[in-house]
Amino acid sequence: MLALLSMTAVRLGMGSMTVVRSLEDISRHSLIISGEIPGASPDHMMSPVGNIGRRGHQFPYVNHSPNPSREFSGSLGNVAWKERVDGWKMKDKGAIPMTNGTSIAPSEGRGVGDIDASTDYNMEDALLNDETRQPLSRKVPIPSSRINPYRMVIVLRLIVLCIFLHYRITNPVRNAYPLWLLSVICEIWFALSWILDQFPKWSPINRETYLDRLALRYDREGEPSQLAPVDIFVSTVDPMKEPPLVTANTVLSILAVDYPVDKVSCYVSDDGAAMLTFDALAETSEFARKWVPFCKKYNIEPRAPEWYFAQKIDYLKDKIQTSFVKDRRAMKREYEEFKVRINGLVAKAQKVPEEGWIMQDGTPWPGNNTRDHPGMIQVFLGHSGGLDAEGNELPRLVYVSREKRPGFQHHKKAGAMNALVRVSAVLTNGQYLLNLDCDHYINNSKALREAMCFLMDPNLGRSVCYVQFPQRFDGIDRNDRYANRNTVFFDINLRGLDGLQGPVYVGTGCVFNRTALYGYEPPIKKKKPVFFSSLCGGRKKTSKSKKKSSEKKSHKHADSSVPVFNLEDIEEGIEGSQFDDEKSLIMSQMSLEKRFGQSSVFVASTLMEYGGVPQSATPESLLKEAIHVISCGYEDKTDWGSEIGWIYGSVTEDILTGFKMHARGWRSIYCMPKRPAFKGSAPINLSDRLNQVLRWALGSIEILFSRHCPIWYGYGGRLKFLERFAYVNTTIYPLTSIPLLLYCILPAVCLLTGKFIIPEISNFASIWFILLFISIFATGILEMRWSGVGIDEWWRNEQFWVIGGISAHLFAVFQGLLKVLAGIDTSFTVTSKATDEEGDFAELYMFKWTTLLIPPTTILIINLVGVVAGISYAINSGYQSWGPLFGKLFFAFWVIVHLYPFLKGLMGRQNRTPTIVVVWAILLASIFSLLWVRIDPFTTRVTGPDIVKCGINC
């Protein structure tokens, strides 16, 4: 990587915007834009470092070459490929290749697979020798006194549910047959939905990490750190909806993370090619020189300045340094000035000039046309030259904006993440990847070390595809009326999955094993051959004919969970030739290029099991190759998005990506440190929240109707049965909106027609009804007991399940069907991350009209009308009609109580319902009741006899 730190700035003139920028130093801030290099000119040297932060201080470079990879990547790719082959040779001889290019021989009595290859042990140290045998983490099972009653209630609830459904099916309501039939169908669907949601939570676990053992094994004082390098991705699109100050805080928390600086690289993806984001990042890189040493000197938490200074705590507590108060006040002034500069950039960007943004040298900003612009790479901070105020090195900070051209499918966020995977592999090639949304900052500076306790564990780490952290949020009101914290999902559902094959990937706060993203399968423990495998020869096939037959078999099952690649098979194939046949090396490289794309440099990086870039790599080749791999046509005719990287085909690419990894046999880990690892912002406004849920549900519907549907995808693979249950539930849950909508309408219909969905029940039958409700509440209570979730959080989740189900989920079903059946694609908007500048929770009370509000409003009104009508009818009919009314009122009030937060959202800023609304509601209800009693339209009127004809004798 040190080879990147010496490059000279040049410019050339070809095409409309033909400028090449390379770096004299990785921290010298030159913008690299895709282009040919016909020559170099020293006339346009890069601006000095002190100019950073002023608009337009860089020069771009544009590429018009149809296939630049073959022009400049061949020599470097061959060198990297040969270095990888040399690594295989060392492994074949029993040596372990190290990340720094050296190697160690395995100790006697221990196999190579038992020692983590990135660690150099000193076996003479008895204490270390003892500690290195200890695991870096352990499972902490839920106490049996809490989990066993929970499991018993689940089984009992299943039995009661079966008896209840049997009773409902065998006892139809003859005078309300259509209503009864609809209700039974809905109840059967609810039962199936509950089973899919409940049983994956059968074996929840907790985990405990040992950071001291990690440090003793990989990061001892006075020795070079052997912790694995990590590339961190931050994705952003629209700086007007995702404020640059929010993104800046996320980046600053990354640069100040408690991890070796030479092992951290931060890549910011600007998929909107906004000059505002570029300039804000330049300001951030300058402020980081002061902020990072302050954080590390005083070990402050969190290391995002906005949230650190917003803490309402006594910052003098436990601070014994006499200089802390002075330094803190000075840093707060620096941050306020930094905010002024960022806000100034935002204010200036509100009005775009007619001719577009112009850079300092007079050339237009390459991203003026967001749908048609070249790829751009800007390195702000790096090793030498990227020093903080105290002369210490800073982590790398790289700005990336992939190429956009009309006529190409760019795949939104998933495409941007795949571009980051490739450009990071070329420039730094960290063994692990952390992806964060622009509004999710690192709240726990040791978060990366927590993840490494799993990923770098010699026994566990090799089979782990990612470590998922729970999402935690700032800026949510105490009552959390719309369940924005999703506590039930993060603290109950995902902990249950961790006891199976691991939690699903939730889109942010996740540390990936780069190898898993490349489509390789995990190392599988050797098992004794069963009868069928012994007949087929198992893994002992060596002849070419057997290999061809196995390849055909794998191609035949391309849609299953059979892994795309097997690193061990590639190595064995090359080692088997003893490296005598140069043609076999070329053929292996060409086959991988067909899968990964036409970049031999990138292909070579995918085979570096422990990350890093070749020492022989030249800076010019690396930067040119980085530009090439983010070109919009790079993924054509490759496996990107289908088997490699973030998977395309759904707006919720996170669920699909994690599912593919689990189907190949990888497992994931759920890490819940005491101090939350990451925190972000959530859309607390009702309309924004519903739009967010709509996007999630639409993505699930897209997966449900795709070839990757977990109902039929991957059988015969390595996906565990209950894990499949969980994935089926994550894709099928929006369909529950249809029976839920019908079930919420039924109470009002019953009240207005006088019918009911349940017949008169006997005392014996009523016991099963009572037991069903008791089991429902008991399940919830015991879940809260073992998970620590509060009853208020659980109840808010139940309420929003109804609100979101009859609005966002319902719309998602219809939009998904339109997309699948009619090909009508629906676009989604970026969730707003606006800061709270108008007071506490100002955004909560904003009312934004959207069509998603229509179904809940309608259902709320008709149930209120039904309640009034039912009570009016009972008053008019006498006391004998009150008994049947109570059952109908119970279901109607169930709907109204669940929709109460929605009603509050319609009320606006007031914490209580306005008096005028109460007065009008009472007045209208009274008038309606009087009219109902007078008209009584649903009562069959019996006509008496004709007195004129019959007289007294009738």
Given this model, what pLDDT does residue 25 score? Answer: 39
Where is average pLDDT lowest: 93-107, 484-498, 660-674, 791-805?
93-107
* pLDDT band at residue 318 using 50, 70 and 90 as cut-offs: low
H/E element, 172: none
CA Rg value for the chain: 32
* pLDDT (mean) for 64-93: 47
3-state secondary structure of 231: strand
pLDDT at 828 over 60: no
What's the pLDDT tens digit per position in 733-767?
999 999 999 999 888 888 888 888 888 777 777 88
Residues in CB range of 464: below 8 A, 6 or more apart: 454, 455, 502, 513, 666, 667, 668, 669
Residues 883-896: what's their mean pLDDT? 83
Is the model's pLDDT at 691 over the cut of 50? yes
What are 378's two structure tokens? 């800007």
Least Cα distance to 480 among 794, 701, 245, 743 occurs for 794
Higher per-residue pLDDT: 884 or 333: 333
Q: What pLDDT sits at residue 738?
A: 93
Burial class (CB in 10 A: 0-12, 13-18, 19+), 220: middle
Closest CA to 468 of 611, 678, 174: 678
pLDDT given for residue 537 in this prediction: 40
Quote the pLDDT of residue 80: 54
Token pair, residue 589, equals 């490289």
Q: Is the pLDDT of residue 855 over 50?
A: yes
Cis status of the peptide bond prior to 302, with omega within 30 of 0: yes
* Plot region of 507 (φ>0 → left; ψ -120 to 50 → alpha; else → beta): left
Tokens of 738: 């249809």
Q: What tokens were used for 708?
A: 């990757």
pLDDT score at 92: 45
Can you tell me the mean pLDDT for 21-46? 40
Q: Supply the pLDDT for residue 465.
A: 93
936: left (phi over 0), alpha (psi -120 to 50) or beta: left
At residue 3, does pLDDT exceed 70? no
Q: Stretch 285-300: mean pLDDT, rounded? A: 90
Q: What is the mean pLDDT of residues 415-444?
A: 92
Rounded distance, CA 288 to CA 300, Å?
A: 15
Across 686-694, average pLDDT? 86
Instruction: Give me the mean pLDDT over the 135-153 stretch.
Output: 91
The confidence band for 225, taking pLDDT boundaries of 50, 70 and 90, is confident
pLDDT at position 250 over 90: yes
CB atoms within 10 A of CB 137: 21
Distance of CA 783 to the CA centre of its chain: 25
Q: How many whole angstroms separate alpha carbon 934 and alpha carbon 380?
A: 78
Going by pLDDT thresholds of 50, 70 and 90, the confidence category of residue 162 is: very high
Could you tell me which of 394, 363, 391, 372 has the C-alpha nearest to residue 381? 394
**Least confident window among 428-432, 476-480, 838-842:** 838-842
Question: Rounded mean pLDDT of 311-339?
Answer: 82
What pLDDT score was predicted for residue 933?
A: 56
- Output the CA angle 783-786-791, nearest 5 degrees: 55
- The arithmetic mean of pLDDT across residues 911-924, rounded, is 56
Measured between alpha carbons, how far is 932 from 939 in angstroms, rounded to an integer? 11
User: Alpha carbon 387 to chain centroid distance?
Assistant: 33
Average pLDDT over every residue of 845-865: 78
pLDDT at residue 356 in the model: 82
The answer to which of 331-345, 459-473, 605-619 has the lowest mean pLDDT is 605-619
pLDDT confidence band for 57 (50 / 70 / 90):
very low
- What are 749's two structure tokens? 């219909």
- Per-residue pLDDT, averaged over 76-90, amounts to 53
Cα distance between residue 278 and residue 282, in whole Å: 6
Q: Yes or no: say if 65 and 381 are a contact pair by the CB < 8 Å rule.
A: no
Q: What is the pLDDT of residue 186?
A: 93
Cβ–Cβ contacts within 10 Å for residue 295, how many? 24
Q: What is the pLDDT of residues 486-542, one digit of tens each?
A: 899 999 999 999 999 999 999 899 999 999 999 888 887 655 554 443 434 444 444
Three-state DSSP class for residue 746: helix
For residues 102-109, give the mean pLDDT.
Answer: 37
For residue 116, pLDDT over 50 is answered with: no
DSSP 637: T
Residue 853, pLDDT above cutoff 70: yes
Query: How many Cβ atoms sit within 10 Å of the Cβ of residue 15?
Result: 13
Judged against a pLDDT cut of 90, whether residue 547 lies above it is answered with no
Specify the 3-state DSSP secondary structure of 939: coil
Task: Provide mean pLDDT across the span 199-216.
Answer: 91
Which residues is 520 bridged to in the sheet?
Answer: 565
The residue written with tokens 């999710």 in the block is 440
- Per-residue DSSP letters for 642-706? TTBSSPPSSS-HHHHHHHHHHHTT-EEEE---SS-SEEEE---SHHHHHHHHHHHHHHHHHHHTS
Whether the Cβ atoms of residue 175 and residue 804 lie closer than 8 Å to each other: no
pLDDT at residue 86, as a whole number: 57
**Percentage above 90 pLDDT, the chain:** 26
Average pLDDT over residues 915-921: 56
Catalytic, 271? Answer yes
Q: For 461, what's the count of Cα atoms within 13 Å in the CB-facing half-sphere?
A: 29
Instruction: Name which of 279-283, 547-551, 593-597, 868-872 the model is least confident about.
Output: 547-551
Cα–Cα distance between 410 and 677 in angstroms, integer?
31
pLDDT (0 to 100) of residue 880: 66
User: Confidence band (pLDDT; 50, 70, 90) for 918?
Assistant: low
Name the residue with higher pLDDT: 885 or 895.
Answer: 895
Residue for token digits 């295989």? 88
- Tell me the average pLDDT of the chain: 75
pLDDT-derived band at 284 (thresholds 50, 70, 90) equals very high
**What percent of the chain is modeled with pLDDT above 70?**
69
Q: Where is 767: in which H helix or E strand?
A: helix 763-787
Q: Is the pLDDT of residue 110 over 60?
A: no
In 407-470, beta strands by DSSP E: 432-437, 441-442, 464-468
User: Mean pLDDT, to the nearest integer, of 799-814?
Assistant: 90
Secondary-structure percent of the chain, ordered helix, strand, coil, rounded to 5: 50, 10, 40
Average the pLDDT over 242-268 and give the result: 92
Instruction: Specify the higher pLDDT residue, 109 or 333.
Output: 333
Element (DSSP H or E) covering residue 31: strand 31-33
DSSP letter (8 states) at residue 736: G
153: left (phi over 0), alpha (psi -120 to 50) or beta: alpha
Q: Is a pLDDT exceeding 70 seen at residue 658?
A: yes
Q: What is the pLDDT of residue 422?
A: 92
Active-site residue among 219, 271, 279, 480? 271
Greater confidence (131 vs 754) lies with 754
Token pair 């930094």 is found at 338
* Structure-model confidence comparison of residues 289 and 555, the more confident one: 289
Q: Please, which residues have CB within 8 angstroms of residue 198's CB and are 6 or more apart in sequence? A: 154, 779
Strand spans (E) along 184-243? 205-209, 230-236
CB atoms near residue 415 (< 10 Å)? 24
508, 680 Cβ separation under 8 angstroms: yes
Range from 717-731, 736-750, 817-831 carrying the lowest mean pLDDT: 817-831
280 or 925, greater pLDDT: 280
In the three-class reduction of DSSP (H, G, I as helix; E, B as strand; rest coil), residue 206 is classed as strand
Name the burial class of residue 934, with classes exposed (0-12), middle (13-18) and buried (19+) by CB atoms within 10 angstroms of its CB.
exposed
Binding-site members for UDP-alpha-D-glucose are 235, 241-242, 271, 412
* N- to C-terminal Cα separation, the chain: 109
Give the mean model confidence (pLDDT) for residues 833-858: 64
- Cα torsion 74, 79, 85, 86 to 10°: value is 170
Burial of 717 (0-12, 13-18, 19+ CB in 10 A): middle
Better-predicted residue by pLDDT, 921 or 616: 616
